[in-house]
A = this chain, B = another copy of it.
Amino acid sequence: MTKHGLIVSLSGPSGVGKGTILAKVREDFPDSKSSVSVTTRSPREGEEEGVAYYFRSKEQFKQMLSDGEIIEYDEYVGNYYGTPAAPLKEMSASGSDVLLDLTIAGSLALKEKFDEAVTIFILPPSFEELEGRLKGRGTETEEVVAKRMAQAKGEILRANEFDYVVVNDDLETAASKIEAIIEAERCRYERNIGIEKKSSWA
């Protein structure tokens, strides 16, 4: 029996601490994989195809988009950056768990494409706390913070479309909850199909 790996995505409003949590989870699950993005920008020196990015032309990217091979994408300084579907499927089929850092729309698109994907919404402990964190960065103007907060208020209403909700009131606790979700999902019956029919039980 070859067991498929999990496809797990984390999303949440800007400033919620998703990156830090994900870094901790990756540290604790060193065998987990991350996704390599597809980009239309040119490779820089030392950037390897399939390692830093998958480098594609704009025409190729548009073709991938219309073929449904890109789960989510963004435009930045005239270039596209997207998450390709096929490598996720391959990594999962080979037994590796894949951990993704996606936008909220990205996680929902992922779930639509891969019903077996596990989507986790990271929620800040409170509105005030999120505002404090955004301000605390010191890099954002008051206007940007206000815009981010308005956006966050809209975004958290989509938490109900996710499988799990984890409140980030403490990094260690939030990371351990995500690790518990991963452990639990590995025990889901559908992921163990045939386990009771394996040779020793035949």
Q: Counting CB contacts under 8 A, is A163 at the interface? A: yes
A189 vs B158: C-alpha distance when bound (angstroms): 11
**How close is A3's CB to chain B, nearest CB, in angstroms?**
12
Q: Counting CB contacts under 8 A, is A2 at the interface? A: no
* Copies of this chain per assembly: 2
**How close is A185's CB to chain B, nearest CB, in angstroms?**
7
* A59 contacts across to B, CB distance below 8 A: none
Query: For the complex, would chain A's binding face be called helix, strand, loop or mixed by DSSP majority?
Result: helix
Q: Counting CB contacts under 8 A, is A162 at the interface? A: yes
Which residues of A from 70 to 117 have beta carbons under 8 Å from B?
none
Stretch at the interface among A14-22, A29-37, A120-128: A120-128
Taking A153-B201, A156-B196, A200-B127 as contacts, is the C-beta distance between A164 and B189 under 8 angstroms?
yes
Q: Counting CB contacts under 8 A, is A157 at the interface? A: yes
**Which A residues lie at the B interface, using CB under 8 A?**
120-121, 123, 125-128, 153, 156-157, 159-160, 162-167, 176-177, 179-181, 183-185, 187-189, 192-193, 195-196, 200-201
